[in-house]
Structure 1
């Protein structure tokens, strides 16, 4: 039985590295063969051109030789020229050197039997006074030859000189160049093969031995997952440059399309989130507030071959959850206040009944009437001033919670708010966090501890003004009060510093900016926050 194919591979298919090795080896082989052929052709041409230049040089030297000119005019040209020409032929390695008369009769030839016979070859250009080269088959076989005229003092052609090298001799010279071509081809093939093997080995290690099809399929799956997952994902390299960002992360952070290679400090993110990304440290469930969302950020270092190469960052949108949490807190506070009031009502009822049983009817009536007026006054003020149900319930709950903590919530008599058209969650976020912050600040000030609230819908904007009797803020604190994580409050006993704090006012600022509103802080004793939010439609004020 054959062992099963490794995961990610298909039986019968090699890895991408092996396929690339075979492809590179084939390309190298083809290139070497073609290059060798070109080199052989170049060598053949070079050898032929060298032979032509050699015989042409021999012919020109002989036709200009006074000895040759004198010898061909003598009574026995062969006796004078044959030893001389044969010595030159032996010295130069030429196949033949022939001196002939204008009527083709040979005076010299390597084969003595050919002397006196007609010369085989073209002589017309030479008779016309021109030296030329040609390839011609003579008595020694095909040869590359040069032929030129011997001229007397009057410029008349008195003889011809022809020198040549046989094609066989040229072939022998060409064969001498073949070992060099072959060794060069083998060396090129070896270097190319070694380079291909090194590249293949590196690629096999980087692709984990996977083939092209599994890699393509894996890339398609990963790309589909990255775009389909409902959690933002960022990959940042060791230089804090973005290498990958999926659609959800781009949506959550309001980022443009092309981000690859950009530094995280150039993305326009809030300072807190930028610090987290550039710090590249382990981060677990860190809450970050952007211009329009509340995000939970997790970050973990990415390691490869034992070294850190960047970080993997995941983002989850908790904006809606934060709004629902705020509304739930308000409902809980309201329910708590109702329970507290029920206890207070029971105590007052027992007191009233006891006074009646003691026969002190007038005191019972006066006590019940006074307590009823005090308990009803704030409710009447809120109901009369605020026609927004969610906002009215929030104020009643916050008033009861503040009263239990020893702080009085005073609603300005000029408050008048009808239906705002704003989302209830945003109203709870803005007003609830401002009141919570003001109550906490008032507890740090001297008695009487009060929080004053003005709610007014005028024209096309809602104005919320919250003032407390606490120690207030300095000018520097007023500039930083909306920064996420910044707070003047002490952490609960046994909890890490800043846990759950420094977020409320940041959420207020985020919500106000999202609606295109403004927020102002008055420093000094008794801080005052003023929020102005445009309304989607003119509010009805009463």
Structure 2
């Protein structure tokens, strides 16, 4: 039995018991009120009749019964009482509802009335059990007689029974309304608990909790409330590690902005870049009976894989550069050999010397000006790769960079290599005809205490809104593709407190500025 049904039945039992007990108390209270109302009524009739001047005068007359019997019967019928008895101080009746009992002795207590007290009692008299009031009739200071007014228990019971349908109707309405409210609450609870039984909920919690803490993927469950003040409903240990989240409730504002956006969109293996990691994020809806209850985010760490792929791309680029240079060297060597065979020795020497001079000048300049050998080798390799792809890559004369602590060689290669690769792709993609010039210009230098990297190209450039997207979600100028180049660059920049922005130039330009520790200002 589901939690909702159990709660409904338990509430129904409690409601029946409570309303039944309330009804019983209401019946007892109504009975007590009926008796109290009867006592007040008979007391009022008795004292009023006793204080009447006509009553005293009738008691003085030779035949009190002839005067008082018609009066008492008229008053009895008007007040709804069952008897009005006028008697002597000795208890001899002058009046009675049953004329045959006139002259007989009053069956009841009169001692308190003879002491001048008005009182009520329940007594089984000649008409059966009744609630009666007894009061003295004064003639001056002397008690001339007594008056007793009463209502039988049978009549009180009939009046009480007439009020019971109202009590039961109110109790039934209360039970119906309470049961309907309990049923609606049960339906709501059923939706919230997915119609599961307590044991099923307990087992599901225990199993899911164990699974959530043991799986290798990050898991974040978001509810329907997407406000920044709302909390994520579930965050497992791996998700806290990948997103660097603290223990305890996790507000949505603590999640990376890219994960909070477009929560209604479903996606698979979408790339998200945080300051420290590259994550693959999948979104799946949580639905129940056609209604969306929330969203499940699964996170997979791609940082190490991306790092390895980046190194592989660098090695592949170096190999491609070596292959290009070997191919170009073979062409030049064939040219020189042919010149020698033709006897044009001076031209062969001039050709070989000029080619060696240009290449050596670039090598000497970069190896002297750039402190990090990996960065110098990267720039030299990119020149060859760009040339093979028909792009003229220029390393500006003012390129010069000393030690750039705390950036590592890998971070420098990631930063500059991805910017140059993006620029080469953009410049080559912007060529509308084979004869059109495609160029890239790279500057890496230190300005005061800041390392500045400027990469300009002949491509169309990146709009500001696209740049913001690129640094968190990946970006590519190639149709149908998503790249991580700028996202990885932004990751390095954010890690070291730098900035990345675009500037207008002859084509497009991306500028990165990163503070250098210990640099002279």
The TM-score with structure 1 as length reference comes to 0.75
Partner in structure 1 of residue 27 of structure 2? 40
CA distance in 2 between counterparts of 1:25 and 1:538 reads: 76
Q: The residue matched to 2:132 in structure 1 has which SS? A: strand
Aligned match for 2:14, one of 27, 40, 44: 27
CA distance in 2 between counterparts of 1:422 and 1:201 reads: 60
Partner in structure 2 of residue 532 of structure 1? 513
CA distance in 1 between counterparts of 2:192 and 2:510 reads: 59
Partner in structure 2 of residue 5 of structure 1? none
CA distance in 2 between counterparts of 1:236 and 1:288 reads: 21
Partner in structure 2 of residue 377 of structure 1? 361
The alignment covers a number of residue pairs equal to 506
Partner in structure 2 of residue 410 of structure 1? 395
Kindly state the Cα deviation for residue 47 of structure 1 after the two structures are TM-superposed.
1.4
Aligned match for 2:411, one of 419, 426, 431: 426
Partner in structure 1 of residue 499 of structure 2? 518
Q: Is the 8 A contact 1:71 1:81 kept in 2?
A: yes
Q: Is the 8 A contact 2:42 2:149 kept in 1?
A: yes
Deviates more, 1:108-117 or 1:396-405: 108-117
Structure 1 residue 73 and structure 2 residue 60: aligned?
A: yes
Structure 1 residue 121 and structure 2 residue 109: aligned?
A: yes
Kindly state the Cα deviation for residue 169 of structure 1 after the two structures are TM-superposed.
4.4
Aligned match for 1:484, one of 462, 469, 479: 469
Partner in structure 2 of residue 508 of structure 1? 489
Structure 1 residue 388 and structure 2 residue 372: aligned?
A: yes
Kindly state the Cα deviation for residue 40 of structure 1 after the two structures are TM-superposed.
0.9
Q: The residue matched to 1:41 in structure 2 has which SS? A: helix
Q: Is the 8 A contact 2:418 2:486 kept in 1?
A: yes
CA distance in 1 between counterparts of 2:127 and 2:476 reads: 115
CA distance in 1 between counterparts of 2:172 and 2:425 reads: 87
Q: Is the 8 A contact 1:417 1:455 kept in 2?
A: no
Structure 1 residue 59 and structure 2 residue 38: aligned?
A: no
| Cα 1:420/1:388, change in 2 over 3 Å | farther
Kindly state the Cα deviation for residue 60 of structure 1 after the two structures are TM-superposed.
2.8
Structure 1 residue 283 and structure 2 residue 267: aligned?
A: yes
Q: Is the 8 A contact 2:91 2:110 kept in 1?
A: no
Aligned match for 1:147, one of 117, 130, 134: 134
Partner in structure 1 of residue 443 of structure 2? 454
Kindly state the Cα deviation for residue 415 of structure 1 after the two structures are TM-superposed.
0.7
Query: Where do residues 199-218 of structure 1 align in structure 2 (5 Å cutoff)?
Result: 209-218=195-204
| Cα 1:459/1:201, change in 2 over 3 Å | closer
Kindly state the Cα deviation for residue 513 of structure 1 after the two structures are TM-superposed.
2.9
Kindly state the Cα deviation for residue 333 of structure 1 after the two structures are TM-superposed.
0.6
Deviation string, structure 1 residues 297-338 (Cα, Å, up to 9, x no partner): 434555543466665444444445444433332221111111
Partner in structure 2 of residue 4 of structure 1? none
CA distance in 1 between counterparts of 2:262 and 2:161 reads: 73
Q: The residue matched to 2:467 in structure 1 has which SS? A: coil
CA RMSD of aligned residues (A): 4.3
Deviation string, structure 1 residues 24-79 (Cα, Å, up to 9, x no partner): 23112202320221121122012102211321232133113333211111234345
Kindly state the Cα deviation for residue 206 of structure 1 after the two structures are TM-superposed.
6.8
| Cα 1:141/1:472, change in 2 over 3 Å | closer
CA distance in 2 between counterparts of 1:78 and 1:42 reads: 40
| Cα 1:180/1:422, change in 2 over 3 Å | same
Structure 1 residue 463 and structure 2 residue 445: aligned?
A: no
CA distance in 2 between counterparts of 1:413 and 1:194 reads: 83
Q: Is the 8 A contact 1:381 1:413 kept in 2?
A: no
| Cα 1:104/1:429, change in 2 over 3 Å | same
Query: Where do residues 105-184 of structure 1 align in structure 2 (5 Å cutoff)?
Result: 105-109=92-96, 115=103, 117=105, 120-124=108-112, 127-128=115-116, 131-136=118-123, 143-152=130-139, 154=140, 156-178=142-164, 180-182=166-168
CA distance in 2 between counterparts of 1:319 and 1:490 reads: 19
Name structure 2 gaps, 5 residues minimum. none
| Cα 1:273/1:231, change in 2 over 3 Å | closer
Partner in structure 2 of residue 401 of structure 1? 385
Q: The residue matched to 1:56 in structure 2 has which SS? A: helix
Q: Is the 8 A contact 1:521 1:529 kept in 2?
A: yes
CA distance in 1 between counterparts of 2:188 and 2:440 reads: 71
Structure 1 residue 435 and structure 2 residue 420: aligned?
A: yes
| Cα 1:208/1:235, change in 2 over 3 Å | closer
Query: Where do residues 359-370 of structure 1 align in structure 2 (5 Å cutoff)?
Result: 368-370=352-354
Structure 1 residue 329 and structure 2 residue 313: aligned?
A: yes
Deviation string, structure 1 residues 395-425 (Cα, Å, up to 9, x no partner): 2321221222341332535513236331444
Q: Is the 8 A contact 2:243 2:255 kept in 1?
A: no
The TM-score with structure 2 as length reference comes to 0.78
Q: The residue matched to 2:19 in structure 1 has which SS? A: helix
Q: The residue matched to 2:469 in structure 1 has which SS? A: coil
